[in-house]
Amino acid sequence: MNFPACLPRLCVIAACAALASCAATGGDEAPAAPAGADAADWDAFYTSPGAAPGKVFTLDARSSQVRIYAFSGGKAPQLGHNHVLAAPQFTGFVYVPAQGPAGGRFDIELRLDQLDLDQPDYRANLGEAFAATLTPESIASTRAHMLGPDNLQAAQFPFLRIHSLQIAGAAPKIAAQVQVELHGQRQAYWIPLDVDGLPGHVAVAGSFVVRQSDFGVHPYAVLGGLLAVQDELVIEFHLLGN
């Protein structure tokens, strides 16, 4: 949509959150954050991750790619536009024990106000569903609406954080339970990851699905539901760390 109603209000998680190779299996309520779930603990943990040998990788936002797709819905979705968001800046770390990814840890943090929206290169090669070129005015209006007090409330809740709770499996196929913090709420998801490059570097690629309503954000709708944003968001990513 080319007016505020079309915006995803959760687009980040993304970043998100990133880390999966197919759809998440659910949105279970996450337990209270364990020690290490907050950014204040990162420096201490990733500088000295424990007595066990292993390696800490710093994720490189410049060589990584995160895309979040939000879709026009309502009774007349053809009147709106689908949207593509990206997280060009984020902070992230991965700790891999000497015995392999199982038992490791990762953390990602990004700011909602640093997301990019609907740039032409994001929409290129995505086919007819994303063929529309949106004006700068439309993008600015959508962005202001998405981050405003009736939606993501970025001034009050500026961060999206993703913290690993459990990691299982063996590279290149990993299963991870992650805690996603957004809009003042936390949810836990089990997601599959494709992991490559070890031990010299780490590459994590995949996609998963989240719902805005899982975080208390109601998908936007106007005109009695004629135009709306679908609850589901698709997040795709390729994260690189050294």
What pLDDT is stored for residue 204 in this prediction?
Answer: 92
* Average of per-residue pLDDT values in the chain: 79
The pTM is what?
A: 0.77
What pLDDT is stored for residue 74 in this prediction?
Answer: 87
Can you tell me the distance from the alpha carbon of 10 to that of 40, in angstroms, rounded to the nearest whole number?
24
Which of 177, 130, 158, 181 lies closest to 13 in space, CA to CA?
181
What pLDDT is stored for residue 6 in this prediction?
Answer: 41
What pLDDT is stored for residue 193 in this prediction?
Answer: 94
Q: What is the tens place of the pLDDT at every residue in 172-183?
A: 999 999 898 888
What pLDDT is stored for residue 52 in this prediction?
Answer: 67
How far, in Å, are 66, 70, 127 from residue 153 at the CA level? 22, 18, 32
Query: Which domains are assigned to the chain?
Result: 4-241 (2.40.128.110)
What pLDDT is stored for residue 42 in this prediction?
Answer: 76
What pLDDT is stored for residue 51 in this prediction?
Answer: 62
What pLDDT is stored for residue 66 in this prediction?
Answer: 86
- Across the chain, the runs of DSSP E, i.e. the strands, are 28-29, 54-58, 65-70, 72-73, 83-86, 91-97, 105-111, 116-117, 159-170, 173-182, 185-196, 202-211, 221-222, 227-229, 232-241
Q: What is the tens place of the pLDDT at every residue in 16-70?
A: 333 333 333 344 443 333 333 565 577 778 877 666 688 999 999 999 998 888 8
> In the numeric block, which tokens belong to residue 88?
């060009």
Q: How wide is the angle at C-alpha 180 spanned by C-alphas 204 and 141, nearest 5°?
A: 95
Which of 164, 162, 44 lies closest to 104 in space, CA to CA?
164
Can you tell me the distance from the alpha carbon of 180 to that of 18, in angstroms, rounded to the nearest whole number?
10
What pLDDT is stored for residue 59 in this prediction?
Answer: 95
Q: What is the tens place of the pLDDT at every residue in 72-112?
A: 888 988 888 898 989 999 999 999 988 888 888 999 998 98
> Can you give the C-alpha Rg of the chain in angstroms?
18
Can you tell me the distance from the alpha carbon of 216 to that of 228, in angstroms, rounded to the nearest whole number?
17
What pLDDT is stored for residue 20 in this prediction?
Answer: 31
